[in-house]
Amino acid sequence: MNHLEGVMVVGLTGQTGSGKTTACRKFMENGFAVINADEIARNIMKPDSVCLREVTDFFGTEILNEDKSLNRQGLADIVFNNPKKLEQLNSIMYPHITSEILSLIRVNSAEGKKLILLDAPTLFESRADDFCEIIISVIADEATRLQRIIERDHITAEQAQARMSAQHNEKFFVDNSDFIIRNNDGMSGLDEIVNEMSDKIKCYYSNKFKDLE
């Protein structure tokens, strides 16, 4: 991607249940503007949206509630147990998501926000990593993540395991990221890690764009 002048996008991704959302809040406290890809995904699937119509055309109206809104758990149960259907869902949604991400990068730039954190669980799958100068992944041990997902989403261990299995393994994130946050202990130590990482990124930004300052 050809970045907008003076703008640097940092991608934040990682395994489900790793504590990525908590890390994102800490980066926001350190002055990063945040674009949330999950929020975008929810917005593009609102009733009567183009994306939801395309998804319904493929999966059928059984994925809808009576009020024509998306039954998210119902769709999740379908795709997280069927890799081919998950791939099809992603192929429908990702173009809409990446288009909105690019639009929001431009909006943030116009508002004078130059350090942008892109919080995206499917950063690599959607090719949104192409927008990023730096990529940070949050990871945690499998047992820790499993318990967090069960408690967070109020689902069974089997449902949580299906979601975990649908993602890349730890090695993938390590191999494809500039920074790794290992978050087995929750809040303990996370502040310090994110603060230090934020300082490094801001220093890198200042050196990269010093002629624009």
CA distance 67 to 185: 41
What is the per-residue pLDDT for 124? 96
What is the per-residue pLDDT for 148? 95
Q: If you ran DSSP here, which 8-state letter would residue 104 be given?
A: H
Whether the per-residue pLDDT at 198 is higher than 50: the answer is: yes
Mean pLDDT computed over 131-154: 96
What is the per-residue pLDDT for 2? 46
What is the per-residue pLDDT for 65? 97
CA distance 199 to 133: 16
3-state secondary structure of 202: helix
Instruction: Beginning with the edge strand found earlier in the chain, give each strand of the sheet holding 115-119 in spatial order.
Output: 33-36, 115-119, 8-14, 134-139, 179-182
What is the per-residue pLDDT for 211? 57
What is the per-residue pLDDT for 209? 78
Outline where the chain has alpha helix (H). 20-29, 37-43, 50-59, 72-79, 83-110, 142-153, 157-165, 170-175, 190-208
pLDDT digits (tens, 9 = 90+) for 33-82: 999 999 999 999 999 999 999 999 999 999 999 999 999 999 999 998 89
**Multiple choice CATH, 8-206, 3.30.420.40, 3.40.640.10, 3.30.70.20, 3.40.50.300:** 3.40.50.300
CA distance 196 to 63: 44
What is the per-residue pLDDT for 186? 72
Mean pLDDT computed over 5-15: 94
pLDDT band at 1 (very low <50, low <70, confident <90, very high): very low
Map out the domains of the chain as residue ranges: 8-206
**Can you say whether the dihedral through the CA atoms of 177, 89, 152, 170 is positive or negative?**
negative
User: How does strand 33-36 pair with strand 115-119?
Assistant: parallel
pLDDT digits (tens, 9 = 90+) for 144-197: 999 999 999 999 999 999 999 989 999 999 999 999 999 998 777 888 999 999
**Which of 98, 87, 119 minimizes the C-alpha distance to 10?**
119
Do residues 115 and 32 make contact, with C-beta atoms less than 8 angstroms apart?
yes
